Structure 1
Amino acid sequence: MRFRASSKGLIGVDITSATVKLVELRRAGASYQVESYAVRPLREGAVVERRIQDMGAVVDALSRAVQQAKPQTRRAVVAVSASAAITKTLTLPASLNDDEIETRIQLDSDKHIPFPFSEVAFDFQRLGLNARYADQQDVLLVACRQQDVSQLTDALLQAGLTPEAVDVETFAMERAFTEVRHQLPQLPGDEDCVALVDIGATMNTFHVLREGRVVYSRDTVFGGRQLTEEIRSRYGLSLDEAGLAKKRGGLPDDYESSVLAPFLDTLVQQVGRSLQLYYTAGRNQEIRHMVLAGGTGMLPGLAEQLARESGMDVVIANPLARMKVNGRIDIQTLFADASAMLTACGLAMRSRR
């Protein structure tokens, strides 16, 4: 795990329960250029709860994504899930250098990390002097099990990519949000509190970001696969056929009223529940805007229904909107997938730092 970044282009790789997503970004002045991208499906069960269960299936999908994208670099960044990582801000003497900080973390590992240090991959980053004590510094510590890092880097290597770093999904999302926030109106500092709802195949995650940092998160096991299953069951299709029909249309006339509408109702209720729990937890900052991400977040009518129920402005995330795009990429296809590319985009954006 490394916080250091490169000045050259990087590939962000996002491995989820339903797809492998790849995007290559390169610095272009003050912004980026999208050099290549690809999205490839994963068979059901290949990845469960963000952990690889079938390495062969993941490597095959990632290899196909690389073949489709034809990236200009092989240097890639991948992420462990937020639930698999321990993130803490430590207060240490300002006099400590990097080697001394590393030694201190090792000596005090039992205070910060809930599993044996021999099984740990960790990294840290200085955040500057402590706001209250001038002789102390804040240090961000991130740790996870070594097996989680090894599994992800092995997948990259087997697909012909070179692991540049292993990040954490939350950090990648925060990085990508620096682009998404340009879709929102300029807000005063005390109103800069935004809900980001990332709706994937099996799970939706409700984040609250204040000043670009995640201050609250809640996961709910409900996503686009439930809609695919309902389509499959109701219309007698295979799972693959149902997935294609959901994306491309062509379903019977009763689809919107009998299948899509109940699904959207349930999804909106769950987002509303997450919003209520945020306030119940004693959070005082009022959320004024909502951003939808993930492939399921683009379902027709969802943003409008959430806006009616919540009274907020609701937009669909496009972290690539302000970026230049390599001429060999179909922009319409890219932007159709952009909402689901949030994590991959944030990983590739490490090149800017």
Structure 2
Amino acid sequence: MRRLRHSGKGVIGVDITSATVKLIELKRVRGQRRVESYAVRPLREGAVVERRIRDIGEVAEALQRAVAQAQPGTREACVAVPAGAAITKTLILPASLNDDEIEARIELESDKHIPFPFSEVAFDFQRLGLNERYGDQQDVLLVACRNQDILQLTETLRQADLTPAAVDVETFAMERAFDELRQQMPPGEEEECMALVDIGANMNAFHVLRGGRIVYSRDTVFGGRRLTDEIASRYGLSLEEAGLAKKRGGLPGDYPTSILMPFVETLVQQIGRSLQLYYTAGRKEKVSRLVLAGGSSVVPGLKERLVEETGMEVLNANPFGRMQVNPRINAQTLANDAPAMLMACGLAMRGR
């Protein structure tokens, strides 16, 4: 049994996906966050599968290249376990219990909350305040996962000469970054119900958020790698070159009609299906806008087709809209990469 570690100062947010490793360093300057450094480096296919590391050495090498490119001012890093690997529960405990007593209570009653041996568990908890119904009780958020999931991530960081400072859960990191997006909304609209579509290399994740909290999620096995592979094959490009080309467009021949548009139409259909399932599940809050994130969210034509299909406002996620940017960073390059940096940003925001 071990407690998950907290971070009390600035950290690098490290997002490890099936196609890339992304890192970003945030710093407080005169009370405002500033992007100090960042980098995105490609991964060999198969090194990470469904957010699980299969080749620690390959991922560590990619992280080392990212660190060399970014040259961050700290080596302390925060990573996240996939939401599916974590157990989260809200416990109702006596309000009189302090932190040590809460920890002892969780250990004593672990078989009620955690479906595997407590000796194999990493866990943490956070007080949420007094229970709304019972004034002498408090709500406590419990988060637990297997030690092996923590050890795999922290060992990867160490092999990349980074120091593990905190381990988060992807859901919490995403909510933290989305809260920064909400602050950019016009007054009165930040509490509206919004859908976030995170389009990764092999998966696209559909989340509905209300008041900054995820209330519904659905994953679909379809992502941008399919488009990248087809561009690379058709035009004789490397995967990295094809990844850049799919976002910028401008490829010769029939790229828009024969390659790009079928990909866009499939994505539009899947997002529409996720919206339908959200309402079918009995959710009453109407989704007011779509926010697109992930490396393939900026492919030409996607945003326009979603506006046409849904009638909603569609935005590209930019968690750095209110932040300062270190002059040594190319601001336009950061803006181009911003939709893909949501998770890394949410992890870096754990620091002060």
TM superposition score category, shorter chain reference: over 0.9
Within-5 A mapping of 1:198-347: 198-235=198-235, 239=239, 242-247=242-247, 249-347=249-347
Q: Deviations over 1:29-83 (max 9, x none)?
A: 3420111100000000000011100111000000110111111011110001111
1:40 aligns with 2:41: yes
Q: 1:192 Cα deviation (Å)?
A: 1.3
Partner of 2:67: 66
Q: 1:98 Cα deviation (Å)?
A: 1.0
TM-score normalised according to structure 2 size: 0.95
Q: Provide the rounded CA distance (Å) in 2 between the counterparts of 1:308 and 1:111.
A: 49
SS in 1 for 2:329: coil
1:87 aligns with 2:88: yes
Partner of 1:126: 127
SS in 1 for 2:78: strand
Alignment-mate amino acid for residue 68 of structure 1:
Q
Q: Provide the rounded CA distance (Å) in 2 between the counterparts of 1:229 and 1:164.
A: 36
Q: Provide the rounded CA distance (Å) in 2 between the counterparts of 1:78 and 1:160.
A: 14
Q: Provide the rounded CA distance (Å) in 2 between the counterparts of 1:128 and 1:182.
A: 24
Q: Deviations over 1:212-244 (max 9, x none)?
A: 011111100100011123324445656455435
Contact 1:3-1:124 at 8 Å conserved across structures: no
Residues 188 and 348 (structure 1 numbering): CA distance in 2 closer, same or farther, change over 3 Å? closer
Within-5 A mapping of 1:189-204: 192-204=192-204
SS in 2 for 1:105: helix
SS in 1 for 2:183: helix
Q: Provide the rounded CA distance (Å) in 1 between the counterparts of 2:180 and 2:326.
A: 18
Q: Deviations over 1:164-216 (max 9, x none)?
A: 10001111111111221234333358x61110000010100000110001111
Partner of 1:106: 107
Q: Provide the rounded CA distance (Å) in 2 between the counterparts of 1:175 and 1:294.
A: 16
Alignment-mate amino acid for residue 22 of structure 1:
L
Contact 1:27-1:351 at 8 Å conserved across structures: no
What is the aligned length?
A: 350
Alignment-mate amino acid for residue 282 of structure 1:
G
TM-score normalised according to structure 1 size: 0.95
Q: 1:327 Cα deviation (Å)?
A: 1.1
Structure 1 vs Structure 2 CA RMSD: 1.6
SS in 1 for 2:291: strand
Q: Deviations over 1:72-96 (max 9, x none)?
A: 0111100011111111110011111
Q: 1:314 Cα deviation (Å)?
A: 0.5
Partner of 1:27: 28
Deviates further, 224-233 or 289-298: 224-233
Contact 2:125-2:142 at 8 Å conserved across structures: yes
Alignment-mate amino acid for residue 252 of structure 1:
P
Contact 1:25-1:33 at 8 Å conserved across structures: yes
SS in 2 for 1:78: strand
Q: Provide the rounded CA distance (Å) in 2 between the counterparts of 1:159 and 1:277.
A: 41
Alignment-mate amino acid for residue 322 of structure 1:
R
Q: Deviations over 1:140-172 (max 9, x none)?
A: 000111111000011111111111100011111
